[in-house]
Structure 1
Amino acid sequence: MSIDRSADLQWQRHLVLGDGWRIFVRPIKQNDDLMIRDLLAHVSKEDLRLRFFDSIKEFSPQFIAGLIDIGGLHVTALVAIDEASSEMLGVVWLHADALRKSGEYAILLRSDIKGKGLGWDLMQLMIEHAKSEGLSRIDGQILQENSIMLKMCRELGFEVKTDLEDRGVCNVALMLEDY
């Protein structure tokens, strides 16, 4: 597998959150497994359930590898790292369909940093990336009870609809040509 380092550099960003907190965002790397494990250790059981739609009791090496190993797929994953502590604070993934017309996003943040603006910044960066890839739409699924994520999606311009097959889930979609 060849790695395009120019693409890595294109998606590296230094962010400064409202309180002056400095964050470095970069594409995920194969050797980020320990950082991902540490990130997951800082996510509450409830936040894990809201993200993965299930309670997760342990993180197998296969589970961790599935979050990191994006080679060969139409997947982009960007990680946010605290510039002072070098701790991973969050990840946003974008899984493009085979035709590269639409993509499904997922995001995970440490529970102790929610509400500081990092999720908003990562979502906007993911939208920017999707547009640069020529995608026309971004989709996601959010549990109905995840009111904070649903509010953020609405504020970002996503259309939110209750899933007809599972009333506990909302389908969200953002048309990128309108964005």
Structure 2
Amino acid sequence: ASVLNNWSLAKNPILAVLELAKLLGIEKTCKEEIVEELRSISAMDITIAFQNFKIGSDEGPDSDLIDSVFKPCIEVDLEGQPAFLTKSPLLLLKSGNFNKVPCIIGSNNIEGAVLQHVVENFYSNFEKYNENVRLLVPRELARKDKLSEGIGHQLLKFYLDGEEHLRADT
């Protein structure tokens, strides 16, 4: 995976925390108070609430194809703990200010298993890409909606032999 993919960084992580907290009967909005209440709830209760959680992959026209609820985000210090990721991955890569470590490249035989739901549900969801071709463009490649839309249309035309819309048979 790449830190530059649309789905790799939480856009607004507090929303997921607030929704999960609400499922657990926590009505507070202060992060510190939510964390404190979550600490008093059993792991089993949190797991059950999480199973009822709405996963963002099908929510709204701007949702990503792959969208895990809890994933890395740009952080601020919390409870005196230093933040791990304080700038966007793209800015860090461009600045060169990161630990240069050897890269290990490999593969496994079930790496794509996490994406099985995409394969199973693609034909019921492909219309969202026709409605919003910007979803086809990595968010860090083009930050302006107009530019992303143009690139999205170019990608469709290129990969679909001049066609401008996905269909069930493409």
Decide: shared fold, TM above 0.5: no
TM-score category (smaller protein) = under 0.3
Q: Per residue, is there more helix in 1 or in 2?
A: 2
Which entry has the higher C-alpha Rg, 1 or 2? 2
Greater strand share, structure number: 1
Q: TM-score, normalised by structure 2?
A: 0.24
**Does 1 or 2 have the higher relative contact order (CA < 8 Å, sep 6+)?**
2
